[in-house]
Amino acid sequence: MIAKETLIDSLLKKLKSMPVGHYYDVRSYKRDRGFYVIKSEEDEYCILERGFFEEEYVSDLDGLNNIFKKLLKIEFPRSHKIRVYNMGKASECILKKPKRKKI
């Protein structure tokens, strides 16, 4: 779990070293809201919002900062701790219903 204040910086560091085709699952403490960050190409990321809204965003590494700030306000308004899971290689079914990591 990561503190909400340091989430953007730590997530951007992780995304720089992530291989193409892999993704992260970012969830609230209760795991009922969140979003997925998929590295679709070398400098292109796809963000799938799954919570209050069902939105999709495509951006490069520079534009992710603004998208993450927006998503933190919408999806995690009262959360102080955020869960970040490295889910490995993304498949085609991630766009429909991604798998959840078991604890």
For the segment 27-81, what is each residue's pLDDT rounded down to a tens digit? Answer: 999 888 999 999 988 889 999 998 888 899 999 999 999 999 999 999 999 989 9
In a domain, 97, yes or no: no
In a domain, 98, yes or no: no
In a domain, 103, yes or no: no
If one counts the domains in the chain, the total is 1
Q: What is the CATH number of the domain that holds 36?
A: 3.90.70.20
In a domain, 96, yes or no: no
In a domain, 95, yes or no: no
DSSP state of 19: P
φ/ψ region of 88 (left if φ > 0, alpha if ψ in -120 to 50, else beta) reads left
Q: Specify the pTM.
A: 0.84
Q: For residue 31, give its domain range.
A: 2-89
In a domain, 79, yes or no: yes
- Burial-class residue 38 by CB neighbours within 10 Å (0-12, 13-18, 19+): buried
